[in-house]
Amino acid sequence: MERHVVDVEFAGQTVQVPAGGYYDRFRMNPDLDEVARDPAAGNIDFFRRIPKQMVSSRVGPVWAPNFYYRSSNAQLLFLAPLSRLRAMLPMPLEPLRAVPGYGLVALTFYSYAVCDNDPYNEASIAIIVRRPGARGSHGLELLRSMRRRSFHAHVLALPVTTEIARVRGVQGYQLPKWRAQIDLAIGDAVTAHVAAADGTPDLALRAPLPVLRDVAPQSHMASNIALNLIDGRWHQTVVQWNMLSFAQTLLPKGVELTRAGGPMSQLLDGLGARKLLRMDVVKDAQLVLNMPRPVAALEGV
């Protein structure tokens, strides 16, 4: 079936998006009453309490934050040697120590079924780091982060499946994004894969589906805070999660991650990410992606 697309301009580049899709119709400033009439979007009351604003950015004025009305993901959390993690982190970021000699690496597969810049998939490899300005016990910081369901991380790789997602991520956030084929399915089992840029296999995941927990909207919130350099200054980008259906398994059994030697496989190997500590599966969640903000605690460090 022929796929209809239209050309749009972003950051001085021409990008193709689905004709009649959310980006084509709303340009990141959606009519939430119209979104609410889309059966695929589900209940969107969460987003009505977060007004969008036109804000300045490195690519000019943009509407923010970004809304992701329906999403899912699968994450593998690995132990990795602190020496490897420090070698991959720019100063002054510091890996958060989980156990003596080891920190944490997260491999995550995302699927965004309904969002402001149209459906796409994404994969991420990130190092969990200490909160800017944090002092004292790593163990206490880790426990607080787990209790608050809020972690800081530095993203090393972030391939995506669409050009609008790539251009917005690279130009707007200076994130390490490139185009690749990525799939995620959460059914009787959890399956995912990411290919290298040339289409050859890179990573493939297959795992049993853990027992999911369904909760009321806005009763189980979480956040991820990505730390990265933008035009030479440290910024943090906060992602707010409204979890709806999810599961978490410590020391999971039956998880198969095939590394076929592509860039993501090589990165995991280089980090020494071998010991699987935890698997998180989110079958349904809503996300708010905020604009990057400078981090005062990292200025001049």
Reported as a single tens digit per residue, the pLDDT across 143-158 is 888 888 889 999 999 9
Percent of the chain with pLDDT over 90: 87
**How far is Cα 103 from Cα 263, in angstroms, rounded to an integer?**
21
Are 201 and 193 contacting, i.e. CB atoms less than 8 angstroms apart?
yes
Contacts of 228 (CB under 8 A, 6+ apart): 154, 155, 173, 174, 175, 234, 235, 237, 292
Tell me the one-letter amino acid at 143: L
Summarize the confidence of residues 281-290 as an average pLDDT. 98
**How far is Cα 24 from Cα 94, in angstroms, rounded to an integer?**
41
Percent of the chain with pLDDT over 70: 98
Please report the pLDDT score of residue 300 as a whole number.
Answer: 62
68-298 in CATH: which number?
2.40.400.10
Task: Spell out the domain ranges in the chain.
Answer: 68-298
Instruction: Say if pTM beats, i.e. exceeds, 0.85.
Output: yes
